[in-house]
């Protein structure tokens, strides 16, 4: 997958910071050891001198095999002494080496010219963060979801008690987030406006991100406008990049489906994004104020049958919390 220059610069800068941190931490460890054991510093200096001397003799090109063997033997003796010093102080054998974040590439981002998995992870992470910038991810959590706005009186039509029912929905969402994996089911949050769909989907997103997964949280109006601009715009490098991110992330949360600008392109793109993730069995959470009938009118039976068949439906009930809060502020 291709990424913007900004994303690459971020990843390279992060790797540079990791290498610098590893070097600084090594210097601290060395100084601590030298302070309690000056002999360790003497050994390291002698090892450097031996290495320089051996290099000079190789450059000279003369028959210096015997001299190199002597230097090698001295080096091994000193290394063994240094190992014993570390062992006697219960320090790890690699105490005097850089401790990199990624041992495979030593925080360079590549192995023999091939991009390391740590570099790929950094690129994806920052690309996801770019898409999530416009989302209020940090504003919602399960702890701030209040059940006090849901009535404890039974609904006349359904007989359900909104408070009890939404308590079970909250419990279900917490469990979904706690047990999330790449094999988790996809969900459809469905119900009228102001019933907590966005709050709980944001809470799931934040919790899953904290577990280390790549999550993209987007509102339908924003993301499909962006996809349309990329599709019909002149930035050929960016074409298809956002769609790839939506298709590849560990969890896609598509909020407010049905509020996007309606056109042939958006209707087709909605189906493409949802269908691709269903085909690849990637977890997706869709929230919408629409009824099944309204969704069929907007997107057609083909897409709605995919959603109904592949997503577990979670219904939200109660009264519009936003209106309740508005009335409370006016009092």
> Quick check: is 129 in a domain?
no
> Quick check: is 128 in a domain?
no
Do 48 and 78 belong to one domain? yes
Buried b (16+ CB within 10 A) or exposed e, 38-50: eebeebbebeeeb
Do 169 and 71 belong to one domain? no
The whole-number pLDDT of residue 1 equals 45
The whole-number pLDDT of residue 123 equals 85
> Quick check: is 46 in a domain?
yes
Do 111 and 139 belong to one domain? no
> Quick check: is 122 in a domain?
no
- In sequence order, what are the residues at sequence separation of 6 or more whose Cβ sits closer than 8 angstroms to the Cβ of residue 205? 135, 137, 215, 217, 251, 253
The parent domain of residue 25 ranges over: 5-117
Q: Which of 117, 143, 162 is the C-terminal boundary of a domain? A: 117
> Quick check: is 17 in a domain?
yes
Do 145 and 71 belong to one domain? no
Do 231 and 315 belong to one domain? yes
Place of tokens 């003799």: 57
Do 112 and 27 belong to one domain? yes
Do 179 and 280 belong to one domain? yes
Q: Name the pTM for this structure.
A: 0.68
The whole-number pLDDT of residue 303 equals 85
Do 222 and 308 belong to one domain? yes
Whole-angstrom Cα distance, residue 160 to residue 154?
A: 5
Do 148 and 59 belong to one domain? no
The whole-number pLDDT of residue 229 equals 84
Whole-angstrom Cα distance, residue 241 to residue 203?
A: 26
Do 207 and 320 belong to one domain? yes
Q: Which of 75, 91, 117 is the C-terminal boundary of a domain? A: 117
Q: Report the domain count for the chain.
A: 2
> Quick check: is 124 in a domain?
no
Do 244 and 303 belong to one domain? yes
> Quick check: is 215 in a domain?
yes
| CATH number assigned to the domain comprising residue 231 | 3.40.50.300
Q: Which of 52, 84, 117 is the C-terminal boundary of a domain? A: 117
H helices of the chain, in order, are 5-36, 38-60, 65-88, 117-132, 162-178, 197-210, 220-232, 241-248, 264-279, 292-310, 321-330
> Quick check: is 16 in a domain?
yes
Do 32 and 109 belong to one domain? yes
Going from the C-alpha of 199 to that of each of 166, 227, 257, 320, the distances in angstroms are: 13, 25, 15, 13
Mean pLDDT by 10 residues, the chain (331 residues): 70 95 95 93 90 75 70 89 93 93 94 92 80 66 91 87 95 96 95 92 88 86 86 62 84 91 85 90 94 90 87 92 77 64
């Amino acid at each position: 997958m291709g990424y913007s220059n900004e994303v690459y610069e971020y990843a390279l800068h992060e790797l540079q910071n990791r290498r610098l941190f590893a070097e600084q931490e090594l210097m601290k460890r060395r100084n601590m050891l030298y302070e309690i054991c000056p002999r360790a510093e003497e050994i390291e200096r002698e090892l450097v001198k031996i290495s320089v001397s051996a290099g000079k003799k190789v450059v000279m090109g003369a028959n210096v095999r015997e001299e190199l063997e002597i230097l090698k033997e001295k080096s091994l003796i000193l290394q063994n002494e240094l190992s014993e010093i570390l062992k006697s102080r219960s320090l790890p054998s690699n105490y005097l080496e850089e401790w990199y974040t990624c041992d495979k590439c030593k925080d360079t981002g590549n192995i023999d010219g091939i991009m390391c998995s740590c570099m790929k992870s950094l690129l994806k992470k920052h690309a996801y963060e770019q898409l999530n910038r416009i989302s209020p991810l940090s504003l919602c959590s399960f702890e701030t979801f209040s059940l006090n706005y849901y009535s404890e009186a039974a609904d006349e039509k359904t007989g359900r008690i909104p408070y009890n029912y939404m308590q079970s929905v909250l419990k279900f969402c917490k469990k979904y987030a706690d047990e999330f994996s790449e094999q988790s089911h996809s969900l459809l949050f469905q119900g009228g406006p102001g019933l907590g769909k966005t709050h709980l989907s944001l809470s799931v997103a934040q919790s899953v991100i904290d577990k280390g997964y790549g999550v993209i949280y987007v509102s339908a109006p924003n993301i499909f406008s962006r996809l349309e601009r990329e599709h019909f715009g002149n930035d050929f490098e960016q074409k298809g990049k956002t769609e790839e991110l939506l298709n590849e992330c560990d969890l896609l949360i598509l909020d407010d489906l049905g509020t996007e600008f309606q056109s042939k392109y958006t209707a087709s793109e909605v189906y493409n994004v949802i269908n691709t993730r269903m085909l690849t069995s990637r977890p997706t959470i869709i929230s919408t104020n629409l009824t099944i009938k309204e969704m069929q009118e907007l997107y057609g039976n083909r897409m709605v049958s995919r959603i109904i068949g592949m997503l577990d439906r979670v219904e939200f009930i109660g009264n519009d919390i936003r209106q309740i809060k508005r009335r409370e502020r006016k009092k």
